[in-house]
A and B are shown apart, each in its own frame.
Chain A
Amino acid sequence: MRWRKQGMVYGPDGRSEWARHTALQPTPLLTPDGRFRVFVGMRDERGVSRVGFVDVDAANPSRVLRVSGRPALDVGTPGAFDENGVVPCAVVERDGRLYLYYAGYQLGRKVRFYVFGGLAVSDDGGETFRRHARVPVCDRTDRELLFRVIHSIMREGGRWRVWYGGGSEFTTERGYQLPNYNIRYTESADGFSLPEDYAVCVDTGGEDEYRVGRPYVIRHGGLYKMFYSAGTKSRGYRLAYAESEDGVRWERRDAHVGIDVSESGWDSEMQAYPSVVAYGDRVYLFYNGNDYGREGFGYAVLERW
């Protein structure tokens, strides 16, 4: 693969109280009028994320058409799994509604944080969402004690195929807790609950790599293609890529991802949180740069697979 970088699309200018900085995990939805509504997590001064959106021209995503003035999904109530932040992961059209799978954050006492997957519903095209439930759609299990977040969900043959991030621990590196999780696959009958059984799709490899996450799965050319983030102790986050014939067994082909950090600028130290969408004969890659998207998100255009 080879991608041609197009630079930054959007980052908050700091004037909005709920959206001081960051546009995390760009999650695009193509609208009937030729726009991408890109859902992102925008952070306030304390770093708490709320879901907003950025509408861009699908023919030219550098052109921002509109930015949400208020959160489309706010944080949960005190004590809830998403009391300390919500970040969009996957958006699905179903029965005339939009379903937003999102990551809910809670801070811990003995571990730094928890992340579990929630579900919210919109009847107005994503302007506002209400919670499907106040608890996660994929809550903690014996084998996923701390992290369990749906990132890709696809209906095939009467069932919902789910690629998600799951894990049970932090490891301590020079006094700092690093979250450990990998990419897993399971199937859901209804899209509203997950079984506990799963298959690992992409695991962490070697001493240096401590997490792989944000699996964004597409179908193309008879294959399942997964774009994801791989986090190492030495280099931080990089974009990565895997392929599969059945969506269950995957081959890591990270070197094939065809994009790397820039020499300077907003994506010079880190690239992560990918999403890949087609518009006509073009294929776009949206992603975040340095410091978990603090400056915003950008995109690249596919030159060749």
Chain B
Amino acid sequence: MGRVYAPDGSRAWAKRYAFPPTPCLREGGGVIRVYVTFCDAEMVGRVGFVDVDADDPSRVLRVSEEPVLDIGTPGAFDENGVVPTCTLEVDGRLWMYYVGYQLGWQVRYYQFEGLAVSDDGGDSFRRVRLVPVIDRSDAEMLNRTSAFVRRRGGLFQMWYVGGSDWTTVNGKALPMYTIKYLESGDGVRWGPEGRVCIDYESEDEHAFGKPFVIEDGGLHKMFYSVRTRSKGYRLGYAESRDGHGWERKDAEVGLDVSESGWDSEMVAYAAVVRRPDKVYMFYSGNNLGETGFGYAILESW
């Protein structure tokens, strides 16, 4: 259906980029609030939102004037950028899991997952912890992030990426990580090592992006991104009967890069919103969302 929104460069904190679309239904379902990160001139990202009409997501209703979540204090894991990965309503309040970025000296950067909560229905967020909720561990030392979290009964379930290594692709250092699974009783405290759900299938693959899990027709369905050495980002898809064992069916994702335009080189970071009559998929385009985000409508599963 094309692009929904990209910054026009008029706001200093939100000059460029709008990624990854993290949608959340509001106002009885009439509005979809899409949280995204906007970047300033120094490429430091802060979380804002784009409200769109739930009946026609190409209609932008409102764009946040100020960040709803700013970067962390100097020295904190999120001192150099914050990126939303999942929102979740817990006991009447909106939680946001987010990536905190920090630049390194001997590795390019670190990504760890933080948690913030909103007391005003999603217009602003405060940190639940100043440190990551999934911090570095012996098994997952350098990157532990991109969490998708859902609640089933009293249990919080998290799919996320984790890894300890970097690799070199065309002369550029890039992180390596797989998609893993953890459970938690409170959504704040998680174990040090997840079970691998989506693993590399070839030498070409070196990482995966942002899992998004839904239940449909008795199956768990996961959208994610696959990072390859040869092609960059593509969307991937897997199915599971129990949420633990996953079968990759990347060819069935049904959405690839366009011939030209804002999503001609890259599609990544899928997020699905189900309406009574339609299923939307929001995603990012070229250069990891530099060209903004767009959406597609499901024609058939």
Contacts and interface: CB of A to CB of B under 8 A. Distances in A.
Interface of A: 78-81, 83-84, 106-111, 114, 133-135, 139-142, 145-146, 168-170
A142 B130 contact: yes
B74 A78 contact: no
Given A140-B135, A142-B131, A79 B74 contact: no
Contact of B106 (A78, A135, A140): A78
B131 A140 contact: yes
Given A109-B105, A110-B74, A169-B75, 15 more contacts: A79-B142, A83-B106, A84-B105, A84-B106, A107-B105, A108-B75, A109-B103, A110-B75, A110-B80, A134-B164, A135-B137, A139-B131, A139-B135, A142-B130, A145-B76
Nearest to B80: A109
A114 B106 CA distance: 14
A71 to B, nearest CB: 18
B165 to A, nearest CB: 9
The CB with the most chain A CB atoms within 10 A, among B102, B104, B106, B138, is that of: B106
Nearest to A139: B135
Contacts of B169: none
A34 B136 CA distance: 41
A13 to B, nearest CB: 29
B106 to A, nearest CB: 4
The CB with the most chain A CB atoms within 10 A, among B79, B80, B104, is that of: B104
28 contacts: A78-B107, A79-B104, A79-B110, A79-B141, A79-B142, A83-B105, A84-B105, A106-B105, A107-B105, A108-B75, A110-B79, A111-B74, A111-B75, A133-B138, A134-B164, A135-B136, A139-B135, A139-B136, A140-B77, A141-B131, A145-B73, A145-B75, A145-B76, A145-B130, A145-B131, A168-B75, A169-B75, A170-B74
Contacts of A139: 131, 135-136
A170 B136 CA distance: 23
B275 to A, nearest CB: 39
The CB with the most chain A CB atoms within 10 A, among B73, B75, B129, B166, is that of: B75
Given A135-B137, A135-B138, A141-B131, A79 B75 contact: no
A142 B130 CA distance: 5
Contacts of A107: 105
A139 B131 CA distance: 10
Nearest to B140: A135
Contacts of B135: 139-140
Nearest to B75: A111
Contact of B141 (A106, A108, A135): A135
Contacts of A111: 74-75
Contacts of A81: 136
A108 B103 CA distance: 8
B84 to A, nearest CB: 21
Nearest to B131: A140
Nearest to A142: B130
The 6 A-B residue pairs whose C-beta atoms are closest, nearest first, are A78-B106, A79-B107, A111-B75, A110-B74, A133-B138, A142-B130
Interface string B83-116: 0000000000000000000111111001000000
A227 to B, nearest CB: 29
A303 B142 CA distance: 51
The CB with the most chain B CB atoms within 10 A, among A80, A81, A170, is that of: A80
